[in-house]
Amino acid sequence: MENSFFSGSENLYKYLVTVGILLITLTVYYPLKEKQELEILTIKIKNELKILEFKINDNKKNVDILKNAKSGITSSSLILIQKSQYENSINQISCENKFLELESRKFYIIIYGIVFWLFFPLGVFLIFYGFKKWNSTKKIDDEIRALEKKKLEVEIENLSRNP
């Protein structure tokens, strides 16, 4: 009687159980880990956006102050105005890129949620189905072995009576 993990007709069901456990493990670990990292990055990006918006508003105020100055605009103040406008343009582009990155991350967070709810129940189903079938196949194999044992006992008894 061979009693190994890799023997018998229940190997398919052992494989289903293993795949189910693997699906649950990977479905819980990887998407939730990625989702958490994306949410942390989203918070950081939102903070960067607030800082950039503050810089843009501050630069706009400085430009307005320089433009509305009563005294004549000198070349140095003109350079300051151009520099502030240039910084505003760069900050605006940076803000737009951060916003696009945020939108992209929201999409991936949704995808990871879908992956979780798609594969987690599948993994649970495979585990229960695999265990149920594995158990029934194991019982059938045990019954076959018991019948073979009885058959051998009967043959031994017949051989001992009829030498």
Phi, psi torsion values for 74, nearest 5 degrees: -90, 170
- Dist CA 26 CA 156 (whole Å): 53
Encode burial over 6-26: b for 16+ CB neighbours within 10 A, e otherwise.
eebebeebbebbeebeebbee
* Mean pLDDT for the chain overall: 80
If you average pLDDT over residues 123-138, what whole number do you get?
A: 88
Residue, of 155 and 94, whose pLDDT is higher: 155
- Amino acid 10: pLDDT: 67
- Amino acid 152: pLDDT: 92
* Residue 6 banded pLDDT, cuts 50, 70, 90: very low
- Dist CA 13 CA 127 (whole Å): 9
- Dist CA 81 CA 68 (whole Å): 11
What is the 8-class DSSP label of residue 70?
S
CB atoms within 10 A of CB 64: 12
- Amino acid 1: pLDDT: 42
Residue, of 94 and 160, whose pLDDT is higher: 160
If you average pLDDT over residues 101-115, what whole number do you get?
A: 82
Q: Which of 103, 119, 98 is nearest to 27 (CA)?
A: 119
pTM for this prediction: 0.57
